[in-house]
Every structure is written in C-alpha cells, then in structure tokens.
Amino acid sequence: MCGIIACAGVKDAARVLYGGLQDLEYRGYDSAGISVLSGGKIHTVKRAGRVGAIAQAAAGLGGSCGIGHTRWATHGRPSDANAHPHVCGRFSVVHNGIIENYAELKKELACMGCTFFSQTDSEVVPQLLERYYAEYNDLKQAVLSCVSRLKGAFALAILCEGEEGFVAVKYRNPIIVGTGGGAVYAASDMPALSGLAENVAVLKDGQIAFARGGKISFCDFEGAAASLTFSPLPAAAKSVRLGGFPHYMIKEINEIPAAVKNTAAAFEGEDVARTIARAAKKRGFTSVMMCGCGTAYHSALAAAYYGEELLGMPVRVETAGEFRYRKMAVGADTLFVAVSQSGETADTVEAARAAKQAGATVAAVTNVPYSALTGVADFVVPVRAGTEICVAATKSYCGQIAALAMFFAALKGAGEYRSVLSAVKGAEALCAQTISRTVAEDVARACASSSGVYFIGRGIDYPVALEGSLKLKEVSYVPGEGYPAGELKHGTIALIDSGTLAVAVITQCGLAEKTASAVEQICARGGRAAVVCAEGCAPAHLRERAEFLIEVPACKSCLSPLVSVIPLQLIAYRTAVILGRDPDKPRNLAKSVTVE
C-alpha cells in the first residue's frame, strides 16, 4: 500500500513523478503529492483524492529531482494535510508503512517545540531529520540517526534542500532503485520504472540509497558501505496499459489463459518440480501448513483439499494475520507454504518469518520474484500471472491455483506431476472457453438489485464460493458471504428472502445433489438462485429450480477452482459496472497491503 516514486538527474522531475504515480495508483488512491527541488528550494503540491487531483499544480513545478507519493490511509483520514510529502524545514519525506513508535516520538518532538500539521505517523520522520541535520550538519548522519529511532516497517524517499538528489530507505517495505540515461530513480514497484530505468536493483532490508549527480551509493543502517547488483528491467515489469479494455479488471480476466500457460512454462523452464522434490526428501515432512490473506488465502484453501488427499498427510490453512499470534505445532517436520500475489503482504511475510524461526521449511508462492517473501523463503514456487493492476485479484488467483496444483503433484512424485502439468497446460484452453461463452449480465443485474448475495459450495467448491463473495464485495460493495453449502441452514438461511440471491458452485458430481438440496431450501423460502456448475454435474431438478445457470467445462478436480471462479469474477465485474463503481480502484482498498 502507498506508492513511492523518486528521481534525480531528469529534465522535468514533476512530469516523471506524476507519470510514476499514475502507474502506482493501484497501491493507494486516497491522496497524492509531489515535492521537487528547484533553485535549491523544495516546492510541494499535495491533494486529497486520486493522482489526477494534482495534475494542474504539478505541471507548474520545475526542477531535476523530486519525490512523489500516492496514499492508502493508515493514520489520519484522507485530506490535504495528511497527504504526503510531509515537509519540515529543509526536508520533504514520503513514507510507505507504519511507524509503530510514532506516538512517543511525536510527544518527544512536541516537548522540544516541534509543531505538527497532520494526523499521520509519517510526519515524525521529517521532524527528526530536521533536528538531526541541525545537530550534525550532515545529510548521511541525519538519515542514519533518524532511522535508528524508527520502529515498525517503512520505505522512505527523502529530499533535502541544498542536496541535488534523493535518499531512499528500506525496512520491511519495498524500494527498487534504477538507473538509465544518466538519471537515478526509486519506486515501490517495477512498473513505475518502465520507460525510465534501464537497470534495476532491489534494496535489501536495512539499506539506504543516496542518489547524487547521476550516481548512486549504498550503506546499511550502521553507515557501512554496501553494494547491490543491477540487472536489466524485467520484461514482465514493463508499464501496463488498458489496450482497448474499459477496465483493468476485465483485461486481466481475459489474461487468465496466458497466466496459466506462463505459470506452467515456469515450472518446466526453471525445473521447479525437482527443487520441490529435493526439499521434501531432505526434510521428510509430516505435515503442511499454508497461509495467505484474502484471495491468496482462498487459493491456499482450495489447494489444501487436493494436497491432503494426494499426500495423505495433514494440510492446514490459516489466515496469515492469525498464524503469528497462535501457538501452532510448526517445526522441522513442517513444510510452510506462504501465498502472496505481491510477496510484500506484511502479515504473510511475518508469518513466514515466524515459521522459519520455528524450524519449518518455507516455500513462497508469489507472482513477484524479487519480493520480501522470496527473501525469507527456502525456495520459490513461481506464479507467472504478469503485472496485475486491478486491486481485486483475478488472474493471479488462477495462477496460484495452477502453481499450487503442480507444487503438490511434485511433492507426490514424478508420475503425478506429469499428469497435473499436462492438465494445467490443457486448462489454458478451458479458461479461454469459459471466458468467451460466459454470459454474466443477467446474474449481475440480480446481484445489483439484491440486499445480499450468498455464495455456497461443498468440498473444493467452498473456497471458490468464498472467493466469489469476496470479489463481489470488493468491487461492487454488495454485501454477502461465502459458506459451505451445508452450513447455510445453521443460521444464515434466516437472511434468505425475495430480496436475496444465492450463487451455488458445483463442480464435483459426487456432491452435486448435496449442494442442490441447499438450493432447494433457498428457493423454498422465496430466495433467488444462480448455479455455476461443471458440464454434466447439474441434476435435472436443479436446472428447473435455478433462475440462472452457467456451465463451465469439466476438468481435473484440483484445477476446477481456476475454471469455476471465472464466471464469478465476471459477475462481480459486471455488477460493479452496472452500479457505477470503479472496479479497478474500490473504495478503502489497495493492491499490496504492506502493514499489519
């Protein structure tokens, strides 16, 4: 959450920064701001609202270096005053993360006569920098002294009057630096550097970058010199545009077949299966623990059904935010699988660290190979969904399902792995077929007019129901929940009436009659019902009772969640559009949640 961009040595810093903020807006869009250094002085514009709110004011700024920020609020409501950058004396700062000890620092600084103008935790940083610079008259020492006082997770970009350049700081929040054309850049994510940087490097935790005069140097938080290896900007990080689609959400749904294909290719090309098999043989796992947040939790939950049946050992799934604060039986005989689209989700990264400290072997399932999670993990299970801009995950979920299926198959052995790899390759066409033939409009209109929508499923269809409910709530704000079909009658059925809609997911023919019974109970109480089912699974009486029926191609059970979820994604998208919501930037949300 929150997007940071910085540049030095460019012709028009404001233009570069504004473009970078547009590319980073999926990380937060409560407010935005830019500071540039011109004539030795800092000039700042910032506004509540989306990046476009600063367009006119930013166009009037000059200068060859600067910093920018697009915000997802954690401390303080969205407002002009709470927008970044925050300025104090000769310093301007943008911040991503949480300063956990900001209250005590703020009290200390206030006692020293400092005046605060915002409700944010971030404002203590420029105040500290100003104090330490006055003491040492040295930028590096001021930065080192400042970061030594901060607790929490933070990425910072800093401007200082009289210093033609910027400083970038990383601690448990991402910062990537880049060089190209004699200029130096920093950003929260690679896409913002596309078209600017030719070569990039990812700052490590506890590192500081100083960009001056077209050059960049590094040190650690103790001031000792450090070095980083730069490499060409990855092709996958190239800036993404809509390409004729009205929204990124529908564009990315249409990219699901490619995400599945590329994920399968990564397993073949990187020999991931052999790495997984070696790790399993070396440690002799007796259990698997999985974690994730939101959509990643749902993909882990779906994969666990297959993994437990296949391996004949316990496969537990926990939300990452809960795992850290429970005493769980995780040790040297546990394989811990952390799932995160960005690899920067704070709860998931910290859960992986905790599991590793307990002796577990950690596998990272992520779409971003240079992330914090990959730095923690013992090995990486690649998802190759490509850059995902829409806040609501779609193609990355399907990539995770494919990767996790191949992961568990590799743990089982070569024969199962070859079978599943072949099925994943075939799923590319099944996903394309599902996208092309799904007509979601009527169901979406029913959702848009409903007081609540309840998604149900049994077995491996239950996590898909959870994901369908999450998607609808995220982008359309229509309330509802996902339930195991058998649980509906244990309380929630009290909410069913003519104003509600139930969406049942049925891809397991052996459980079809059980879920159909739940649909019958809904209809008997005046509720409306829609069914998403695999071809050949819907009982005849269900076809008569359901108001809406969407069929998807049948496939291998472990891959059914990546096919059956597509109609639910399309329903959520169309519902948002019908209600006039922006599906790409839902209120109160951000793409990468880098705070707990």
CA–CA separation, 251 and 394 (whole Å): 10
Tokens, residue 26: 């999926």
SS3 state of residue 552: strand
Alpha carbon distances (Å) from 502 to 112, 195, 469, 511:
60, 46, 10, 18
CA–CA separation, 90 and 234 (whole Å): 36
CA-nearest of 272, 303, 268 to 288 is: 303
Tokens, residue 359: 């002796």
CA-nearest of 517, 559, 512, 557 to 532 is: 512
Backbone angles phi, psi at 21, to 5 degrees: -65, -35
Give the Cα-Cα-Cα angle 171, 152, 143 (nearest 5 degrees).
Answer: 55
386-417 exposure pattern, b = at least 16 Cβ within 10 A, e = fewer: bbbbbbbbbbbbbbbbbbbbbbbbbbbeeebb
Q: Give me the catalytic one of 2, 65, 160, 533.
A: 2
DSSP summary character for residue 54: G
- Burial class of residue 337 in the structure, from the number of CB atoms within 10 Å of its CB (0-12 exposed, 13-18 middle, 19+ buried): buried
CA-nearest of 141, 189, 147, 178 to 163 is: 141
Known active-site residue 412 = no
Q: Give me the catalytic one of 251, 261, 585, 591.
A: 591
Known active-site residue 489 = no
Distance separating the N- and C-terminal Cα atoms of the chain = 11
Residues making up the chain, counted from first to last = 596
| Diameter of the chain measured on Cα atoms | 81
CA–CA separation, 404 and 411 (whole Å): 11
Active site residues: 2, 591
